[in-house]
Structure 1
Amino acid sequence: METIVRKHWTSLLGVLFVLSAFITLFKYSLDEGWITDVMKIGFGLLCGTGLSVAGLEASRKRRSAYVSQIVLGLGACVLYATFSFAGIYYGLWSPMTVLIGMTAVTAGVTAFSYRFGSRLLMNISLAGGLLSPLLMQPETDQVFSLFIYLFVINAAFFSISVAKRWSELRVHAFIGTWIIYAAYFVHYNPPVDGLWSMPLRYALAAFAFYAIGFMIASWRSNRCFDGWSMYLSLANGILFGCWAINILQDDLPYSVVIALLGAVFIGTGMFMLRLVGKADSASVSHMLAGMLLLLLASSSLGSGLEAKPLVNVFVWGGIAGLLALVGQVKHWMSAAIASVVIWTVVGIYWFVETWDAPRGEWFGTFIPFLNWGAMAWVLLAAIGFYYAMRGIVVRSTDNSAYVMSMLFALLSHLIVGGLLTVQIQNVFLVYFDEYSDQLLQLSLTVSWGIYALLLYLWGAHQRQILFRIFGSVVLVLVAIKAIFMDLQGEEALYKVFVLLVLGGISFLITWVNAKWRQEEGNPQSDISNG
């Protein structure tokens, strides 16, 4: 097809110009009142039929195959434009008449193309069929006729696309149909009251048609669910979701639409996984998209409750942990990847929301590190450390597995640091009626210094130099905070105590470094002097 387009793109452009001129003449003659509507329809049918006969004659006499396809395609385009004018623009024909005429022309074009492999003819006809209703811009609401018009085109062109593996036909049909839907939605501005309005029905029909069509196309391609069909299937769901949310915004919460769409994506991904027998990019992408949509929908879970952020973290953190266990036990890579994606999104969400989230006190009493807020941090950290220890996602002994394990461990340690920070802040808020911000900052400095020490000890225990590097970074940041930010105000004794503690931590880290270097027997491995 690429060769055909490269050689004959000027011919394709010429067909579009001629079709545009034909439609413009139709509309201009209408505005000027030159001829009656019946005469226009008759002229269109006559021209379209004449061009089709000329194309068939050229094909019969074995003249240039491309010339005959271009003439035939132009004839089909003129007929499509006539049907658009009679059935959609003015509503002069009933929907049944439009159906009969469209079916006849489309069946003829499809049969000829299938018999003689006329790929160029199908592309020209499809372009004309989709362009005609866009250029007409009807003044009355003839959406049902338009729906029949598009259904016939899509059914025929999708079928031959699957049968002949001409993938560009379904791509163009998909893009053109959703563009027409958007144009006519804006042009007509139809009523969208109620849960089952006509615009929603048409959008749902298009979504269901393409969801099934792309699945069949992938099935026929030796069960290969990758490529254009996969990407367009995802795009189809996203487009429908956007339209459904816009249409139902006054009747249904957006989270319900997103949750339903997420369930469809997950179901589609599992169906692909079952057919193929192994996780591939298509099934994984659909399942990940579904998980993300469900996660987005859960943002409204617990609406109206002060504890809504905590509910979200526990629900989706639990799902991430469950998927991690399933992926580890069943060796399902897709479940492991979905778990990591959900865990990452929930972690970012919690870091943003935790500062305004409730403390989650037990029995009306705040106990440091024993409250629902702390348990949310613990859940996320535990999942992260499980990733690091079990080699989730990457199960091998190569360098990639090591890097992934260290990455998850570092992220989990960041979560632990967040836990320390939030809990210390809450201790001051609950148990100290009057405290200075300077005292709080000094307390945080000490806790972060102890945290840096723990990182060093962990690195020495696990023989991991990466944690020593991370501990060095934390200690340097703590030193900068203590010297340049905390040495202000009047809390002199507290500052002296903090500095002495930090000094002791630094000396202890120096001792840990020396001890580790001595055990390793490699002085060059030390990257820090403490």
Structure 2
Amino acid sequence: MKETMSKHWTSLLGALFVMTAFITLFKYSLDQGWITEAMKIGFGLLSGAGIGVIGLKLAVRRPSSLIGEIMIGLSACILYATFAFAGIFYRLWEPMTVMLGMSAVTALISAYAYKYSSRLLINIAMAGALLSPLLMRPETDQVFALFLYMLVINVAFFFLSIVRGWHELRVVSFIGTWLMYIVYFIHYTPSTEGLWSMPIRYALAAFLFYTVGLMMSSWLNKLSFDGIDLYLNAANGILFTFWALLILNHEVSYGYILTFIGIVYLLGSYVIYIATEKITPAAASFFLVGLLLVLISVSSIGGGYDSKPLVTVLLWGFIAAAAAVIGRIKGWLMLSLASIMAWFIVGCYWYIVTWDTPRGEWFGMYVPFLNWGAIAWILLAALGFYFSRTLVIPHLPEKANRILGHVYALLAHLIVGGLLTRQIENIFTEYMPGSHAVYLALALSVSWGCYSLLLILWGAYYREVLFKWFGSFILVLVAIKAIFMDLSGQEALYKVGVLLTLGAISFVITWINGKWRVQSDEKPSEDKQATSDS
């Protein structure tokens, strides 16, 4: 086919030009009132049939020549344009008449293409079939006739694509169908009111048709569910999701839409697994996409309430934790990596929304660290420490895994810092609502100073220089805040106490660093002595 197209692509282009000229002449003659609609339909049917007969005779007499094949394809294009004019541009024919005529022409050219392997013919016919309704867009809504029109050509082209292995047929028909949907949605601006409006029906029909059709194509193609069918299925899901969310925006929550699509892909994953009796990349892709859509839909729980962000973080935090544990037990690396990605995204999201989110009180009153907001922080921090201590990526060097472990631990420490900050803010908001803002600033300085001390202790215990540097960096920031920001205004006595506290923390850190340095120096000496003794 590649060689044929390289030689005869200009023939295909020429047929498209003739087809476009024919359609343009139809519309122009209509505008000028030269001939009646019935005369145009008759002329289209006669010319299409006549060119088809001539092309068929040429194909029989000269089988090696492609002229006859091109003429048969051009005749199909003219007939398709005539059907589109009669049933879509003007409703001169009933939708069932259009469907019968389309079915007859499509069946004839499909049978000819199948019998004689006329790939160029069917490509010309397909181009004309898709181009005709795109060029002739009516002023009135004839969408049902268009639906039947597209259904016939898609069934035929899909059939030939599967049985003959002509992949371009399902690719082009897929693109043409969704392009047709977009053009007619914009052209008609149909009503989208109601849960079962016409636009959502046609989008759903296209989505299910291509999902089932592409699955059948893969099934019949030696159970090969990878490649072009997988990519088209992914594009099909994305397109339907976009249009469903756009059309049903004010009718139903997005969670229900994503749940439906997720269930379809989970069923597809199950079908692939049953057919291949193993977990293939296609089955895994369908399963992961379906599971992700279902999880996203589940996260819509709590929509419309101020506590929605808190519910989302807790839900996804527990999902990430469960994925991390299962991934470690089963040895599924991809699941472990997915849990890390979910943990990181949820952590960033929580840092952004936590400051305006309700605290999630348990007992009708605020208790520090005993509220759902604190639980969300603790869950994310614990998950980060879990990753830093247990997660090892097999294909990475030991040094790279160690660096990643440090990164997880640092991110977990940042989460702990957020936990302390938020809980202290809540204490002042709940129990000291009339207090001066300077008290909160001083309390945060002391808490962050204590936290820097804990970081340095962490580094000393595990003998990790990185945490020592991180704790020292936080202490420097606290010093800048305390000296240049907290000292402004009144309440000097409290500030003196805070500064003395920070000073004491600094001296303790100096003592810890000194002890650590002595122990680090003693260890090489002991190793050297042991070597000399041996």
Matched residue, 1:525: none
Check the 8 A contact 1:113/1:119 in 2, yes or no: yes
1:276-287 map, 5 Å: 276=276, 281-287=281-287
Whether 1:125 aligns to 2:128 is no
Check the 8 A contact 1:449/1:505 in 2, yes or no: no
What is the alpha-carbon root mean square deviation over aligned residues? 3.0
Whether 1:325 aligns to 2:325 is yes
Alpha-carbon separation, structure 2, partners of 1:128 and 1:334: 46
Matched residue, 2:191: 191
Check the 8 A contact 2:482/2:499 in 1, yes or no: no
Q: 1:7 to 1:508 in 2, by over 3 A?
A: farther
Check the 8 A contact 2:328/2:336 in 1, yes or no: yes
Whether 1:367 aligns to 2:361 is no
Whether 1:507 aligns to 2:510 is yes
- Residue 136 of structure 1, CA deviation: 0.6
Alignment partner of 1:493 out of 492, 496, 517? 496
CA deviations over 1:98-120 (Å, ceiling 9, x no partner):
22222222223223333333333
Matched residue, 1:447: 447
Check the 8 A contact 1:279/1:334 in 2, yes or no: no
Moved more, 102-111 or 258-267: 258-267
Alpha-carbon separation, structure 1, partners of 2:301 and 2:121: 52
1:406-417 map, 5 Å: 406-417=406-417
- Residue 81 of structure 1, CA deviation: 0.8
* Structure 1 residue matching 2:138: 3-state secondary structure: coil
Matched residue, 1:521: 524
Check the 8 A contact 2:299/2:316 in 1, yes or no: no
Check the 8 A contact 2:460/2:512 in 1, yes or no: no
Matched residue, 1:42: 42
Instruction: Specify every segment of 5 or more residues in structure 1 that has no aligned partner in the other structure, as ranges.
Output: 523-530
- Residue 484 of structure 1, CA deviation: 4.4
Q: 1:485 to 1:119 in 2, by over 3 A?
A: farther
Matched residue, 1:249: 249
Matched residue, 1:19: 19
Moved more, 463-472 or 379-388: 463-472
Alpha-carbon separation, structure 2, partners of 1:514 and 1:91: 91
Alpha-carbon separation, structure 2, partners of 1:424 and 1:309: 20
Moved more, 186-195 or 11-20: 186-195
- Residue 134 of structure 1, CA deviation: 0.8
Which amino acid in structure 1 is aligned with residue 252 of structure 2?
A: L
* Structure 2 residue matching 1:355: 3-state secondary structure: helix
Matched residue, 1:137: 137
Q: 1:324 to 1:265 in 2, by over 3 A?
A: farther
Alpha-carbon separation, structure 1, partners of 2:117 and 2:518: 78
Matched residue, 1:216: 216
* Structure 1 residue matching 2:355: 3-state secondary structure: coil
Check the 8 A contact 1:44/1:78 in 2, yes or no: yes
Matched residue, 1:87: 87
Check the 8 A contact 1:449/1:478 in 2, yes or no: yes
CA deviations over 1:430-477 (Å, ceiling 9, x no partner):
232443333323332333333334334334444545444544544444
- Residue 154 of structure 1, CA deviation: 0.9
Matched residue, 1:379: 379
Whether 1:427 aligns to 2:427 is yes
Instruction: Specify every segment of 5 or more residues in structure 2 that has no aligned partner in the other structure, as ranges.
Output: 526-534
Which amino acid in structure 1 is aligned with residue 368 of structure 2?
A: P
Alpha-carbon separation, structure 1, partners of 2:56 and 2:104: 16
Q: 1:509 to 1:396 in 2, by over 3 A?
A: farther
Matched residue, 1:106: 106
Identical-residue share of aligned pairs (%): 52
Check the 8 A contact 1:292/1:342 in 2, yes or no: no
Alpha-carbon separation, structure 1, partners of 2:7 and 2:443: 74
Which is greater in Rg?
Answer: 2
* Structure 1 residue matching 2:231: 3-state secondary structure: helix
Moved more, 510-519 or 178-187: 510-519
Matched residue, 2:263: 263
Moved more, 55-64 or 368-377: 55-64
Whether 1:147 aligns to 2:147 is yes
Moved more, 166-175 or 257-266: 257-266
* Structure 2 residue matching 1:91: 3-state secondary structure: coil
What TM-score comes out, normalization by structure 2 length?
0.87
- Residue 24 of structure 1, CA deviation: 0.6
Moved more, 120-129 or 255-264: 255-264
Whether 1:238 aligns to 2:238 is yes
Which amino acid in structure 2 is aligned with residue 23 of structure 1?
A: I
Matched residue, 2:71: 71
* Structure 2 residue matching 1:302: 3-state secondary structure: coil
How many aligned residue pairs are there?
A: 521
Alpha-carbon separation, structure 2, partners of 1:67 and 1:469: 79
Alpha-carbon separation, structure 2, partners of 1:269 and 1:520: 57
Alpha-carbon separation, structure 2, partners of 1:115 and 1:468: 77
Whether 1:357 aligns to 2:361 is no
Q: 1:250 to 1:440 in 2, by over 3 A?
A: closer
Alpha-carbon separation, structure 2, partners of 1:78 and 1:512: 91
Which amino acid in structure 1 is aligned with residue 503 of structure 2?
A: L
Q: 1:253 to 1:275 in 2, by over 3 A?
A: same
* Structure 2 residue matching 1:193: 3-state secondary structure: coil
Q: 1:13 to 1:406 in 2, by over 3 A?
A: farther
- Residue 172 of structure 1, CA deviation: 1.4
CA deviations over 1:247-272 (Å, ceiling 9, x no partner):
33343223322332233334434544
Moved more, 434-443 or 265-274: 265-274
Moved more, 100-109 or 491-500: 491-500
CA deviations over 1:173-232 (Å, ceiling 9, x no partner):
111111111222232233333322222221111110011122222334443433332232
Alpha-carbon separation, structure 2, partners of 1:353 and 1:274: 43
Moved more, 263-272 or 31-40: 263-272
- Residue 298 of structure 1, CA deviation: 4.4
Check the 8 A contact 2:446/2:498 in 1, yes or no: no
Alpha-carbon separation, structure 1, partners of 2:67 and 2:472: 74
Check the 8 A contact 1:52/1:75 in 2, yes or no: yes
- Residue 124 of structure 1, CA deviation: 2.1
Matched residue, 1:303: 303
- Residue 278 of structure 1, CA deviation: 5.5
Q: 1:53 to 1:475 in 2, by over 3 A?
A: farther
Which amino acid in structure 2 is aligned with residue 118 of structure 1?
A: S
Alpha-carbon separation, structure 1, partners of 2:102 and 2:41: 14
Whether 1:314 aligns to 2:317 is no
Moved more, 481-490 or 37-46: 481-490
Alpha-carbon separation, structure 2, partners of 1:108 and 1:49: 12
Which amino acid in structure 1 is aligned with residue 496 of structure 2?
A: L
What TM-score comes out, normalization by structure 1 length?
0.88
Check the 8 A contact 2:448/2:474 in 1, yes or no: yes
